[in-house]
Structure 1
C-alpha cells in the first residue's frame, strides 16, 4: 500500500479517476492520509519522496464492506474501483502531477 498525505492523494485520485485507472483507496482520517492499494512487490522498488510504500498482507475485497485495515474507511471502495490495485507507474505519474498542481495553487495564494 502506498500512503500519501490526504491533499496530494485526493488530487491523485481525481487524476486517476479521469483516466479510469484508480484502484481501491483507503482514507485514514486520524492520520489525514490516503492509502492506494498496489500490486504485491511494489514496496521493494518504491522510492517516491513524500510517500511510503509498505508491504501488507491485506487483499481488497470484492465488496465495499468493512475495510481490510483497522482505523480506515474506503474513499474508493473495491466495488467502484476500476482495478483490483492501482498500477504503480500510473500512481507515480498521478502523484507527481498532483504535487505540481498543489505547488502551483499554493503559489497563487
Structure 2
C-alpha cells in the first residue's frame, strides 16, 4: 500500500462506517471527513502561536512526530496523541478532544480549503507522546523569553 492509502485506512478505521468515510473523502469536494476522537487517537489543539513553535521543537528532537493538523488560518494546530490523553490533560488554553468529540479530518493525500496536514499520518499509527509534547510546549513558550523567534 502507498503511504496515503495506508494513512486513509488507518484514519478511516475509527469511523462508524469506514467504507462510507473513504467514499466521503474521495467524492466530497471539500476533501474532509468527520471522525471520532478517543478511539485510535485524541487531539490536543494548541493556539497557532504556540503550536507552530512547539512543532519546531518536536521536529528537532524527533525524527518524525505523530500526525499534526492545522487550519488554513493558522489559528490552531492539532497534535494526534494516544487515546486517553484528553481525559488527563490539564494545560490552560489547550483544547483536548477525546471520546465523544468529533474532528474534521482532511484526506491525507490532498490539500483542502479548510485544513491541512503539517505532518501527515503515515498509516503506522505513530502518535506524538504527550509528555514530549508538553516538554516541547514549555520549550517553545520559553524561547521568546530568551530572545528567540516569536511564533507564527
Q: Who is 1:26 aligned against?
A: 69
Deviation at 1:40, TM superposition (A): 0.6
The structure carrying a bigger strand percent of its residues is 2
Deviation at 1:13, TM superposition (A): 0.9
Q: TM-score if structure 2 supplies the norm length?
A: 0.56
- How many residues are paired up? 101
Give the gaps of 5 or more residues in structure 1: none
Q: Counterpart of 1:37 in 2: which secondary structure?
A: strand
Q: TM-score if structure 1 supplies the norm length?
A: 0.75
RMSD across aligned positions (CA): 2.9
Q: Who is 1:93 aligned against?
A: 135
| Misfit runs of 4+, over 6 Å | none
Give the gaps of 5 or more residues in structure 2: 1-42
Equivalent position to 2:145, from 91, 100, 103: 103
User: Matched residues in 2 for 1:4 and 1:13: separation?
Assistant: 10
